[in-house]
């Protein structure tokens, strides 16, 4: 499945998350790159998974948002502290994928 076919799913999840981050309902705990840079990086095929962990200000729930070269985007609640256990890997230099 190409990124084009998944564009809708991703845009919906991304917009929902962006709205919550912008209005302060959620804040980022840790992320590979800023939210709006995730799709360009995924499309570059330079990094297999691109993830972002955010926390809900109201209830403290940790949310995981992840894009993968293959497979569907994931947007789901996870255990507190999941961002500390994630196997973070380096991000390719921005000039190679940013648009």
Tokens of 35: 């939210």
- For Zn ion, what does the binding mask look like between residues 60 and 89, x meaning CB under 5 A? -x----------------------------
Distance CA(71)–CA(62), nearest Å, equals 22
- At residue 27, φ and ψ (nearest 5 deg) are -135, 155
Shortest spacing between CB 27 and Zn ion, in angstroms: 12
How would you classify the pairing of strands 26-31 and 49-56? Answer: antiparallel
Distance CA(79)–CA(92), nearest Å, equals 28
Q: Which of 24, 58, 70, 99 binds Zn ion (CB under 5 A)?
A: 58
* Total number of residues that touch Zn ion (CB under 5 A): 4
Nearer to Zn ion, 17 or 42 (CB): 17
Interface ranges with Zn ion (CB under 5 A):
56, 58-59, 61
């Amino acid at each position: 499945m190409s990124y084009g076919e998944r564009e809708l799913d991703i845009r919906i999840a991304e917009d929902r998350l962006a709205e919550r981050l912008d209005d302060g309902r959620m804040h980022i705990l840790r992320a590979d790159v800023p939210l709006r840079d995730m799709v360009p990086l995924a499309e570059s095929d330079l990094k297999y998974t691109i993830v972002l962990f955010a926390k809900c200000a109201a209830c403290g729930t940790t949310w995981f948002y992840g894009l993968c070269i293959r497979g569907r985007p994931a947007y789901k609640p996870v255990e507190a502290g999941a961002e500390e256990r994630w196997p973070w890997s380096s991000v390719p230099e921005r000039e190679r994928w940013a648009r």
